[in-house]
Amino acid sequence: MRKRLLASMIAMVLLLSLFPVSALAAERDKGSETPVACAVTEGCTLQAGHKCECVLPDEPETTEDDPAPADNVMSGNCGLYDYINKEYTDTVKWALTANDEDGYTLTIFGNGPMGNAYITEDNVSSGEPEWHYSREKITRVVIQDGVTSVGAKSFKNYTNLKTVVLPASITKIGQDSFYGSGITSITLPANLTTIEPQAFYKCSSLNGTISVPVGVFSIPSYTFAATSISSIEFNGAVTEIGVNAFMECSSLTSITLPDTVTTIAPGAFSNCIQLESCVFPENPQFTKISKETFKGCTKLEEVLIPSSVTEIAESAFQGCTNLKRVVLSNNLNTIGSMAFKDASLMEGVYIPASLSSIPENNQIFKGMANNSVIYLGSSDLISLMLQSKADPTSTSNGFDSEKTSLAVTDGGTFAADTKFESGKLATPIKEGSIFDGWYENEGCTGTAVTNSTVGKTYYAKWIELKSDAISMEYGSTQTLPTIEGVTLSNWQSSDSTIVSIEDDQLKANKVGKTTITATARTEAGGTGTLTVNVEVTPMRIIYGKAATTQNDDGIGRPYITYALNEDGTAPKFSDLLGFYPVKEGSQNGTYEADITKDKIDLKPGIGDDSDVYYVYQNDVSGNIIQTDTLPTHPTTDADGNPHSIRVELKLKNPNYRFCTVGTNWQPSDTIILYVTCYEEGMNEVDLYLEGDDKPLETFEGDRVYEYTGQGIVPTTRNLTTLYTKGTSTDHSITSFTAHFHAVQEGTAFSGTHLYNQTNSHLTADALKAIAPTELGVYSFVINGYSKDTKTYCYASRRYSIVMGNPKGEPTFDKVSSGVELSTITLSGSMKNAAGIEVAGTFSWDDGDQTLERGKSYA
């Protein structure tokens, strides 16, 4: 409080006895030669920097958000400079007040950009800001919110300026704004978009981390050069690092460049003597490391050049004396002279075969470690690196032949974890090949070597790591591939369900394509992975002859006659005829059954787990059916004479293909045969139900049933009263077999049976228990057969199970307009056609619709 009273008293005296500083400044602008006087000590001038050691009044205790200073302090305008009237505009103003640091605080306030200092236009200079004459006493600058830029050169060489506060409104920091000032830290405003060149150049006390706001896209030349910053964070999409932007940042230890960077200009990080690592951007547009970018970075240990880089310019890493590891881009085509000169700790480096341009005065890797090795991706690079064989010390050469040797990898590269060692030749890798040693001649003859001798050139020998693709038939086995001079181990299959590796053999488990891999090794220490493509093709199968098979029709369509089984079922076709793997036939291009191998058991059925199914026209009903069984009734005409039915036998199992004369010996999923269900002396008897006068030729009932989730039997008749009676025989049948078959492909039902049941067991519940429940087309058959008397009976019914239509009174939750239809839920009781309450889900035709009043939905 006493300071405030004292300041007020001094201010009153000044107002009564002296001209205000602003008035004097105005006079100076009009051509007056009179120096601007200090408002405190007689004889002191602002131009003299208060050399009279006058004592200024203390500034009031304020915060950064305080309103503009009062009129009792030194102040003036510092808005954009008006070159016509030769004065700064009043949109932005300044005020200079004393602070507790034995110096001044300069406050900038107003709205809009600051004017630039020392800037000329049409030979008219804006001149120095009025506070400039007190620059040696200014220790703190506070720019208040509303000011949008820091004027160029405003605080250049303010060596006693320690603290700067920038508001969020700042979007631009002008050129040389803080050049050579004594600031120790800076927080860049979040809304900043532009930093002009040299803004913080030679701020040697500026330390800590610089956080670059998201709106800044360029770090121009010399922006942070010769500062003491230790790290920098890029929060946005910086695309360009300017010339010498971070040059001589003596405390910068690491840098991670964002992937948005496309350009790093010359000298950007040169002479950063504490820089140990740099992470480059992964950006296809980042193609060049410019001249002297990292020159003199004496602590830099590792350089990993991204694949996008095609050029490394002159002296880019010259003088990086601690550099030990360099990984060059495989797309590199140009290296400038002295790019890695004097990397005295580097024991090895790999130059990719893509390199095509090296200057005559190259010296690229001059000064590497003793006994170091330069690995060349191609022998064409020898002439580029050794341009003067006659004079090993020539500056035209890219290395010191008295310190370094060359090793040609012939297209080989190195694993990421490869460590190069002086005097030792490293082991390269190559796609599709395996390393087989280093040799002193290009023909790779003689004895392989492992150690290097300076001045010599070595050549890598390779064995092609390749094996022909393998094709195997399902069910077969095959020995594993071998390569001469290579040990193959640790075999793996990428899909063992297709091909497995068992007892050092390949086993084909199902049709498909996969790969097998093995670890490959040579005595020279080369390692690699052998990959072999394997395809499993279907097993080609052909039927063999059987006693029940008559001669075929000459085009490979066998005629088969069979009798029903004792239980009234038909035998499987593969049991009648027998299928075997093929072998070469007696005539060229033909096949025959290899009966020395196991017979193939083909499981008939419509379901996914079956191998084959039958398609034929039922000669009783006339329906074309797809089913899992051959006809279960004698195929006879009205006079009882046997006849054949044309049957297509179709494969479902992709692991097999028929290969017969009927398929012209080409693999096929279908063969045609002719079958006759007949036995000499067979008698047919009719089926009756108790109380009926006429025979039961087909079952009464619907042909279409709604889905209920339960087994559906297509008749309401009581089958427990079933009996037989013949017109030409006294024989009868007392045991029956009930069959349910799917008769349409895609029906997931494999067929069910009740074998050899007396009529009393053919109850509705017993039949319902084995009847199909899912959607599909089915055949219900009851037949019987007496082997002893050769008597048979047969009746069938074809029917469908279709999607159900539950009945009931559903209710909906309360709804309102504007909601999505899919959010409406259903409650209430619903029952199926069998009267059973059903549960499940329902869907709307278009659940994404928005409900509207008065509109119906389904």
Listing DSSP states for 628-657 in one string gives SS--SS--B-TTS-B--EEEEEEE--TTEE
- Euclidean distance between CA atoms 193 and 200, whole angstroms: 16
For residue 105 the two structure tokens come to 């605080």
Q: What is the dihedral of CA 330, 333, 334, 335, to 10 degrees?
A: 30
556-571 burial, b at 16+ Cβ within 10 Å, e below that, comes to bbbebbbbbeebbbbb
| Domain 287-464 class, CATH top level | alpha beta
Looking at the chain, the domain(s) classified CATH 3.80.10 span 287-464
Q: Residues in the chain, how many?
A: 858
Cβ atoms < 10 Å from Cβ of 86: 14
Range list for CATH 2.60.40.1080 in the chain: 471-537
Which candidate, 139, 176, 125, 184, places its Cα nearest to that of 155? 176
Q: Which two tokens stand for residue 305?
A: 């050049």
**E-only strand ranges, 558-630:** 559-562, 579-584, 591-593, 612-617, 624-627
Residue 386 identity (one-letter amino acid): L
For tokens 């103003």, the residue is 93
CA angle 83, 84, 88 (to 5 degrees): 50
The pLDDT of residue 34 is: 33
Does CATH place domain 683-802 in 1.10.1740?
Answer: no
Distance between CA 460 and CA 449 in Å, rounded? 10
Structural element, H or E, at residue 16: helix 2-17
Low-confidence ranges of the chain (pLDDT < 70): 1-73, 389-390, 545-557, 700-701, 745-746, 808-815, 825-829, 833-834, 838-845, 847, 857-858
Q: Which tokens in the block code for residue 416?
A: 């990421």
Is 26 in contact with 40 (CB distance < 8 Å)? no
* Calpha distance 840→826 (Å, rounded): 10
Q: Furthest-apart CA pair in the chain: how many Å?
A: 152
Instruction: Indicate the CATH number of 471-537 among 3.30.479.30, 1.20.120.610, 2.60.40.1080, 1.10.8.60.
Output: 2.60.40.1080
Q: What whole-number distance in Å separates Cα of residue 204 and Cα of residue 207?
A: 8
So what's the pLDDT on residue 696?
83
Asked if 352 and 330 count as a contact pair (C-beta separation under 8 A), the reply is yes
Pairing of strands 591-593, 579-584: antiparallel
> What secondary structure letter does DSSP report for 28?
H
pLDDT on residue 814: 66
Q: What is the DSSP string of 132-199?
A: GGGTTTEEEEEEPTTEEEEPTTTTTT-TT--EEE--TT--EE-TTTTTT---------TT--EE-TTT
